[in-house]
Amino acid sequence: MTYIHDTIVKLQKTSPAQAEFYQAVEEVLDSLQPILETNEKYKHHAIIERMVEPERQIMFRVPWVDDQGKVQVNKGYRIEFNSALGPYKGGLRFHPSVNAGIIKFLGFEQIFKNALTGLPIGGGKGGANFDPKGKSDGEIMRFCQSFINELYRHIGPTTDVPAGDIGVGAREIGYMFGQYKRLTGNYDGVFTGKSLLWGGSLVRKEATGYGCVYFAQYMLADKGDSLAGKQCLVSGAGNVAIYTIEKLYELGARPVTCSDSSGTLYHEAGIDLATLKELKEVRKARLSEYLVAHPDARFIPVTDYPADGHAVWRIPAQLAFPCATQNELTEADARALVANGVIAVSEGANMPSTQEAVEVFLDARICYGPGKAANAGGVATSQLEMAQNASMQRWSFEEVDEKLKVIMKNIYLSASTTAAEFGEPHNLVLGANIAGFRKVADAMIEQGVV
């Protein structure tokens, strides 16, 4: 514990005011105690000290002109965290909350997530404190072009391959790729999450949500159970949540909630997927408008949330899928879920549960799939997009989906067998962290002090 404590204290001095990053590091290091105690080589090679420091941190201003002709300035980031297993891979997030600490936490998580996929990709993350909401297409295009005017120097198909994240979809990827191509003269697979018209992969849009559900399916199957007939809680209303809901229906479950920044939607009969897609993918509208088509549903505004958590987690159900954002699920929420009979939690977002909430799930011995394992389907399918680009092929939806299923099954088996190896078969947090760490750490040792 002294080693872990000293590492966190040092980070707090060298990387001040980055609370989410400290949280992510502490969660991983706590899990690594068993392997660090029995393997002196990791201390000898200073693997932890090297792993918690990014190989490269890029921060830059992003000036752009709005529709009124006024110059705006945002801050851009790319954290190239670890390339021991392959080129840096991780999304770009455009959201007002983005800062260095958020990007570093996401990049650190990405190292282990990408390692768990078994694919040749390292860990990175990036973004900007730009809010796409309320912006015109022209404003978004000008911002994306300015962003790439700096970032293009640091990315490439065998160097660093960004993707989408919150606030960055196929439209934003298109504008960034177009500017990259203009600046470099290269038509290559430097981004994933591209349009199907020019190099994108089928299933990429659905992959994180689908993978999150597949992971839950494998957790339940190990207990002799299934998704069929289960009532499910889903948070969020973006790609991850929408396609989590879609796959839950395909596998016989009944998702009854989703949420956005304005509140939580609860539809006991089951969320109408067509209405949700129309609202969020086409009209970009608030969830409260769902009630126009379905007056039997209930909308709970943020102002009516409990003081100690989120309304979505206070509704009785058997399964929970946090698919919105980091630290959305509190200790009080976790206790409510367990009290209401939840038997499995599979995380579609990055670190959506606070550390205290995770402890509640582990103590209750329910099936708990941490984000770095359960939501790895997105980055896995991004790598499949890279493979298709490199070979100039296009695989069918069914072919990509089948590969995704196999990858998610292998991630589950890797985490569960490692957890059992260290005497805690129910603890997939420990299993996922150690399994990912060993791959990266051993590669770092073999590649020397770099």
125 is catalytic: yes
Which residue out of 89, 125, 247, 280 is catalytically annotated?
Answer: 125
Comparing CA positions, the residue from 350, 326, 383, 377 lying closest to residue 89 is 383
Question: How does DSSP classify residue 13?
Answer: H
Task: With CA atoms as reference, report the closest residue to 333 among 303, 311, 301.
Answer: 311
Task: Provide the strand spans (E) within 192-321.
Answer: 231-234, 254-255, 257-260, 263-266, 298-301, 319-321
Could you give the count of Cα atoms lying within 13 Å of 432 in the half-sphere of its Cβ? 28
Q: Which single residue is written with the structure tokens 């995380």?
A: 347
Residue 375 near residue 208 (C-beta atoms within 8 A): yes
Q: How many residues does the chain have?
A: 450
d(CA 241, CA 263): 14
β-partners of residue 321 are 234
Q: What are phi and psi of 307, to 5 degrees?
A: -65, -25
CB 377 within 8 A of CB 210: yes
Beta partners for residue 58, in sequence order: 78
What is the phi/psi pair of residue 324, to 5°? -100, -75
Element (H, E) at 53: none
Query: First CA to last CA across the chain, in angstroms?
Result: 27
Residues 83 and 56: beta-carbon distance below 8 Å? no
Tokens of 63: 């000036």
Task: Name 215's Cβ contacts closer than 8 Å, sequence gap at least 6.
Answer: 346, 369, 373, 374, 377, 408, 411, 412
- Which residues are known catalytic residues? 125
